[in-house]
A = this chain, B = another copy of it.
Amino acid sequence: MTDGEQTTDTTRQERASTWFSRLRDDICAAFEAIEDELVGPNPTSAHPAGRFERKAWTRDADGGADGGADGGGGVMSIMRGRVFEKVGVNVSTVQGEFSEDFRAQIPGADQDPRFWASGISLVAHPCSPLVPAVHMNTRMIVTTKGWFGGGADLTPVFPDDDDTDLFHAALKGACDVHDEAYYPKFKDWCDRYFFLPHRNEPRGVGGIFYDNLDTGDWEKDFAFTQDVGRAFLAIYPKLVRRHMDQSWSVDQRRKQLVKRGRYVEFNLIHDRGTLFGLKTGGNVEAILMSLPPMTAWP
């Protein structure tokens, strides 16, 4: 890599990590506005509107299981509110070296184990069983190669065809601007990825999932990744507002806690990101922020 390319890479890395933080700010503001608006007949309406709390963390320079020259860190934003029972939004920018175990699995890491990674990751578990849970994550990774990855998927307790259509249409819109082949490919990838084989059931109603995206045009790939974030921000608050003031029953709540158990099973048994993070000495609190606040296996 020449000095010229190094400079370009540094600028790109700054632009990407700045974008992830800005997206986080916009999402947090949108979710806090939703907290203010709740008026429905459910018990949580009597609670105060939630606000995000932020907590910064730094990557341990030597303590990680991957050893090597680690650095960087992140900020966890977590809100325990009256619409969002628990929502976590993590941004992080870290660098280090992959351990030998992982080098073979990571593009471009077999020659040189050093990596840089920045991203945003969000999981929302609403109070109401009628408001779908959601996950969104986008990231930029640099080894001797560089790529983007991410996606968003919806996990309702009681799937609503209109919600599903609106959510998919928003993501398809973000995809189609960049490449009409993206949506069908990334939708299928999502369906395959967010599936519980031991239950023989999907985690939710899908969305999109992509990884190793490197068309050779960084600007184009970055623009697409930004548009995935914007599409999420445009559509998910609408889905929340469609349902948050609807009355829900104790039985619906019970079903929500069981559905959340499936979410836990997926994340702890199958999710590559979760297991990868836990096994490479990642920030446990940030990684497991995705787990639901209350869950039942009755």
Interface residues of A (CB under 8 A from B): 80, 86, 198-199, 257, 261, 264-265, 268-269, 275, 278-279, 284, 288, 291-298
Contact = CB atoms under 8 A, between A and B. Distances in A.
Contact of A297 (B269, B293, B298): B293
Contacts of A292: 297
Contact of A198 (B264, B278, B296, B298): B278
As for how many copies of this chain the complex holds, the number is 2
A144 B284 CA distance: 42
19 contacts: A86-B297, A198-B278, A198-B279, A261-B291, A264-B268, A264-B295, A265-B288, A268-B268, A269-B269, A269-B275, A291-B297, A292-B297, A293-B296, A293-B297, A294-B295, A294-B296, A295-B295, A295-B296, A295-B297
A207 B199 CA distance: 32
B80 A298 contact: yes
Contacts of A297: 86, 288, 291-293, 295
Nearest 9 A/B pairs, CB to CB: A291-B297, A268-B268, A198-B278, A295-B295, A268-B269, A294-B296, A198-B284, A293-B298, A293-B296
B86 A284 contact: no
Contacts of A80: 298
Contacts of A268: 264-265, 268-269
A297 B78 CA distance: 13
A93 B264 CA distance: 29
Contacts of A298: 80, 86, 293
Contacts of A265: 268, 288
A242 B64 CA distance: 42
Contacts of A284: 198-199
Contacts of A199: 284
A296 B297 CA distance: 12
Given A198-B278, A264-B268, A269-B275, A294 B294 contact: yes
A295 B261 CA distance: 9
B261 A294 contact: no
Contacts of A279: 198
A248 B292 CA distance: 25
Contacts of A264: 264, 268, 295
A291 B284 CA distance: 21
Contacts of A261: 291
A283 to B, nearest CB: 10
A296 to B, nearest CB: 5
Contacts of A293: 296-298
Q: Which of A257, A278, A279 has the most CB of B within 10 A?
A: A278
